[in-house]
Each structure stands twice: as C-alpha cells, then as structure tokens.
Chain A
Amino acid sequence: DAKTTQPPSMDCAEGRAANLPCNHSTISGNEYVYWYRQIHSQGPQYIIHGLKNNETNEMASLIITEDRKSSTLILPHATLRDTAVYYCIVRVYGGSQGNLIFGKGTKLSVKP
C-alpha cells in the first residue's frame, strides 16, 4: 500500500502557484519524498525529491515539514501544460528495493 495520502483533485488558475499537499506520517528516517507527474496518455515523469531540506529545481519546489510528516509540491506559475496527475512517493534512496509505490495521486487541473 502507498505510504502517502493526497487529495484526489485540485484546481489552479493559470499563472498562479499550485500547491499540492502530501501526508506521509509514517515516513522512516532513511526515506526520501519523491514527486512524479503523469500527463494524460504518457508515462510518469520525475519532478523532484528531498529528504528533509527544501529543494528547488527548474520545474518545482518541494517544502518538507520539520517533522517530515508532510510535504508540499509548489509549481510557482502553473500553465495549462501542468495539468496532470501528481504522485507523492516515499522511497529509500540507494536501497535494494527497486520499485516505486504509487498511490492514486492528485489530479491537478490548471484552468485559463
């Protein structure tokens, strides 16, 4: 079973920031938080990951709470092309386990 909880859907106005929450209250000390997204009819795409510090790349920012029990993915200026299902996943980095466990994700709809 997925170790994360996400809202099933969210809307965001184009050009505004999209803030996608994720709860992972049972996260272990050696587990990272990963975010992937899946645009309709495509395979999932990696966005960002982090352990405990906030992270930023060209796609998004990841804010992880101090107790690491929740996180927020921020798309600073959402566009229509960001409409997708966003998956929050916790995973051991560098461990022997090779798979990602996806939940149902959050369906983000960016509206003009």
Chain B
Amino acid sequence: DTGVSQDPRHKITKRGQNVTFRCDPISEHNRLYWYRQTLGQGPEFLTYFQNEAQLEKSRLLSDRFSAERPKGSFSTLEIQRTEQGDSAMYLCASSLGTGVTGELFFGEGSRLTVL
C-alpha cells in the first residue's frame, strides 16, 4: 500500500500519560499535515511541515503538543500529560508541494481515547 499510513490506529490511555503518534506520508510528498477531529465535527488543522521545516501551527496546538519531522520523511505527534479533552481522531495528510491539484491525501487516522 502506498498511501499515508498512521500508527497506532487506536490508543487508549489514562489522563496524564504521554502518547505519540506516527505518520508515514506518501514517499515523494514533501508536505505533511496534522489534523484533529472530534465526534460530529470536521477535521481541524493543527500543523504542517514542508520537508523538515514546521511552517505553520494552529493555536489549537498547545504547549503539550509537539510535532516533528526530523528527516523530512515520517512525522511524529506527541501529546504530553494527556487530558480527556484530547480524545479525538488525529489525522495525517501529505501532498506534493500544494499538489498537482492542491489535493491532500489523508491517512485513516489514529483514534485517541483518554480515560
């Protein structure tokens, strides 16, 4: 499969624990995006990278959240000291520049449940 892959698909954790999600984009894509989606809402932008540079961060990305893309390939999203409000689907997407069509390719997401 050559699509965007995310791991783990599901994560259940206790409040206060740290969690990390990984995203592997489509191999030739230089842009990588993180979104968060809660039940009944559309995805909300968190941050994006062009190669290894983090170019934009949403105000939703509190100081407990950190994202990296160290070699311009895969990315990780870490949430420290999780809170129940962090329970959501975390979606990763990638694109080639702005894409041939401006199209973002999304993974299937990592669902986080904080107890």
Task: Please report the C-alpha to C-alpha distance between residue A105 and residue B40 in the assembled complex, in whole angstroms.
Answer: 10
Task: Please report the C-alpha to C-alpha distance between residue A82 and residue B4 in the assembled complex, in whole angstroms.
Answer: 22
Tell me whether A68 is interfacial, beta carbon within 8 Å. no
- The answer to whether A32 and B102 have CB atoms under 8 Å apart is yes
- The answer to whether B98 and A94 have CB atoms under 8 Å apart is yes
Interface size class of B (residues with CB under 8 A): 20 to 34
CB distance from B115 to the nearest CB of A (A): 21
Task: Please report the C-alpha to C-alpha distance between residue A94 and residue B99 in the assembled complex, in whole angstroms.
Answer: 8
Mark B78-111 against chain A: 1 for CB-CB distance below 8 A, else 0: 0000000000000101000010011111111100
Tell me whether B65 is interfacial, beta carbon within 8 Å. no
- The answer to whether A93 and B98 have CB atoms under 8 Å apart is yes
Among B33, B42, B48, B107, the residue within 8 A (CB) of A103 is B42
Nearest A-chain residue to B98, judged by Cβ: A94
- The answer to whether A94 and B102 have CB atoms under 8 Å apart is yes
Among B40, B93, B101, the residue within 8 A (CB) of A49 is B101
Q: Which of A43, A49, A87 has the most CB of B within 10 A?
A: A43
**In the complex, which residues 75-89 of chain A have their Cβ closer than 8 Å to any Cβ of chain B?**
85, 87
Among B31, B41, B44, B105, the residue within 8 A (CB) of A98 is B31
Contacts of A87 in B (CB 8 A): 42
